[in-house]
């Protein structure tokens, strides 16, 4: 499907947040997805994934959640830099910025008012956090989202503590070799959702590592990436149509 893309500024509070928007070139309205960046920032890889969703028949937006920081994209070989940037975020601000992106897309005639969220690495947690805090989100597909069972700040709540607020299903992907997210954390996440009365689909690829969806990382796993992509597209089409 032919797409059009745009770099734009979205108002969040009194500030303006850069976003990458992609949508089919004609027709609609289409279901909408917010694609959340990894800890490394809103880079070419995340924009490419956003464009891929548009080619599948979605209006897709990816916000730059690090826009308040001067150097807000780092290379995949700079984990300390990514961790520093990630530490600059607070859950309440994340939720506000994600809501701003959603509210902007709601103004587009090409978009349906039913949203999905997906994200990778840090973005997986953000995608899930948004789903439990924003009633416009009707499906969420976090990829190797670390910290979904932990509070973002001392005294805060873990995203999974608000699982009862979910308005739609969860499709979550993890890698069995992921040193950042032990399988015990995956089990804890699944169990908490079930306890909240939800029926999540949790996919654990035993031989996959953190970042298995990213072509630019050594951990890229082509087979699982292809399968997970197909599952995610079908999931959103089934639940946002």
User: Which residues form the catalytic set?
Assistant: 121, 178, 210
Distance separating the N- and C-terminal Cα atoms of the chain: 17
Joined together, the tokens standing for residue 55 give 């080619």
Residues 6+ apart with CB under 8 A from 123: 35, 36, 37, 38, 46, 142, 143, 145
Joined together, the tokens standing for residue 99 give 């809501």
Q: Find, among 141, 104, 123, 113, the residue nearest to 232 by Cα.
A: 141
CA distance 219 to 217: 5
**Cβ–Cβ < 8 Å for 165, 133:** yes
């Amino acid at each position: 499907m032919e797409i059009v893309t745009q770099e734009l500024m979205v108002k969040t509070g009194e500030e303006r947040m850069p976003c990458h928007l992609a949508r089919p070139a004609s027709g609609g309205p289409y279901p909408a997805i917010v694609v959340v960046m990894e800890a490394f920032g809103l880079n070419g890889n995340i924009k490419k994934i956003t464009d891929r969703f548009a080619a599948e028949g979605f209006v897709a937006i990816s916000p730059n959640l690090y826009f308040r920081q001067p150097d807000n994209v780092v290379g995949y070989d700079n984990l300390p830099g990514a961790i520093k940037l990630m530490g600059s975020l607070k859950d309440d601000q994340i939720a506000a910025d994600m809501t701003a992106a959603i509210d902007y897309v709601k103004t587009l005639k090409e978009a349906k008012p039913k949203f999905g969220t997906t994200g990778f690495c840090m973005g997986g947690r953000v995608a899930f956090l948004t789903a439990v805090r924003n009633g416009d989100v009707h499906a969420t597909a976090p990829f190797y989202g670390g910290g979904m069972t932990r509070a973002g700040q001392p005294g805060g709540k873990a995203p999974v503590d608000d699982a009862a607020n979910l308005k739609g299903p969860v499709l979550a992907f993890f890698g069995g070799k992921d040193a950042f997210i032990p399988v015990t954390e995956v089990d804890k996440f699944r169990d908490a959702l079930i306890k909240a009365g939800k029926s999540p689909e949790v996919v654990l690829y035993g031989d996959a590592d953190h970042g298995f969806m990213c072509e630019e990382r050594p951990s890229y796993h082509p087979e699982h990436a292809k399968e997970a992509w197909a599952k995610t597209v079908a999931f959103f089409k089934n639940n946002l149509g």
